């Protein structure tokens, strides 16, 4: 229980410092940051398993489970995406859906970073239905009617994140989570320091790309190499 409280505290810190501000001023803590917090506290005592429940060419449904190393499930989450709906889902609907499911599974054990379902997820519900109806009918989605309302000016100090920016952030999330897991696994297979150096050279270019968009994520990756190298000192 103390470890979980520590992980929740770590997520809250990341929520305050790295949360993405959405419409209305609410913040969303990216899945990659919550995964980092979980790994930093629990190591390999907790794991994440994902399963594709539906992939019929239109809809993608993924279930994610938070598992114990000794067996058992402590958390779960599900997500649905519509292929072709939004920029990310035109090419990476499955990856996007898996990331969302992992985020909800983390939220189920308290690693939500402030809220269980983000405003972006709630806003996406009618858009998903429109996209699905459009695919079924073979035409463009009918415009939704909304009652006239007075638009309130957003708070000056709070930037508004567009849907495209959030989609791109989720796609980036998925890539970085996969990269982190891949690097961690490859380093666990190293038998001597030279193997660590060879692995570093293999990932050097992609790590440079990560550093350009997120120096903090690059530091976490570098820490994996430093820890692996220290084992052979």
In a domain, 23, yes or no: yes
pLDDT at 55 over 90: yes
Q: How confident is the model at residue 130 (pLDDT cuts 50, 70, 90)?
A: low
In a domain, 200, yes or no: no
Alpha-carbon span 35 to 104, nearest angstrom: 12
Alpha-carbon span 124 to 117, nearest angstrom: 11
pLDDT of residue 65: 95
pLDDT of residue 165: 53
Alpha-carbon span 104 to 75, nearest angstrom: 9
pLDDT at 149 over 80: no
What is the pLDDT of the chain when averaged over all its residues? 77
- Closest of 136, 44, 30 to residue 82, by C-alpha: 136
In a domain, 149, yes or no: no
In a domain, 231, yes or no: no
In a domain, 191, yes or no: no
- Averaged pLDDT, 98-116: 80
For the entire predicted model, the pTM comes to 0.53
Tokens of 25: 């001023």
The whole domain housing 63 covers 2-138
The 3 state secondary structure assigned to the chain is CHHHHHHHHHHHHHHHHHCEECHHHCEECCHHHHHHHHHHHHCCCEEEEEEEEEECCCEEEEEEEEEECCCCEEEEEEEEEECCCCCHHHCCHHHHHHHHHHHHHHHHCCCCCCCCCCHHHHHHHHHHHHHHHHHHHCCCCCCCCCCCCCCCCCCCCCCCCCHHHHHHHHHHHHHHHHHHHHHHHHHHCCCCHHHHHHHHHHHHHHHHHHHHHCHHHHHHHHHHHHHHHHCCC
Phi then psi for residue 171, to 5 deg, are -65, -40
* CATH value at residue 63: 3.30.390
pLDDT at 136 over 80: no
Tokens of 32: 């990659």
Per-residue pLDDT tens over the stretch 163-218: 455 555 555 666 777 788 888 888 988 999 999 999 999 988 888 888 887 888 88
- Averaged pLDDT, 125-139: 55
In a domain, 92, yes or no: yes
- Averaged pLDDT, 61-86: 91
In a domain, 216, yes or no: no
**How many separate domains does the chain show?**
1
pLDDT of residue 197: 92
In a domain, 133, yes or no: yes
């Amino acid at each position: 229980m103390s470890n979980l409280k520590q992980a929740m505290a770590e997520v809250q810190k990341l929520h305050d410092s790295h949360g993405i501000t959405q419409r209305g001023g609410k913040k969303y803590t990216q899945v990659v940051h919550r995964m980092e917090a979980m790994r930093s506290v629990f190591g390999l005592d907790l794991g994440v398993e994902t399963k594709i429940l539906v992939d019929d060419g239109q809809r993608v449904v993924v279930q994610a489970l938070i598992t114990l190393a000794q067996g058992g499930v402590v958390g779960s989450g599900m997500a649905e995406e519509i292929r072709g709906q939004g920029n990310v889902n035109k090419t990476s609907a499955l990856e996007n859906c898996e990331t969302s499911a992992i985020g909800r599974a983390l939220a189920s054990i308290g690693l939500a970073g402030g809220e269980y379902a983000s405003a972006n997820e709630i806003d996406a519900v009618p858009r998903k239905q429109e996209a699905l109806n459009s695919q079924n009918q073979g035409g463009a989605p009918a415009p939704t009617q909304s009652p006239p309302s007075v638009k309130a000016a957003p708070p000056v100090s709070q930037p508004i994140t567009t849907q495209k920016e959030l989609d791109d952030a989720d796609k980036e999330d998925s890539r970085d989570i996969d990269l982190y897991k891949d690097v961690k696994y490859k380093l666990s297979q190293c038998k001597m320091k030279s193997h660590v150096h060879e692995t570093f050279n293999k990932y050097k270019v992609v790590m440079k790309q990560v550093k350009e968009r997120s120096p903090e994520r690059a530091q976490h990756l570098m820490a994996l190499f430093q820890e692996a190298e220290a084992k052979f000192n």
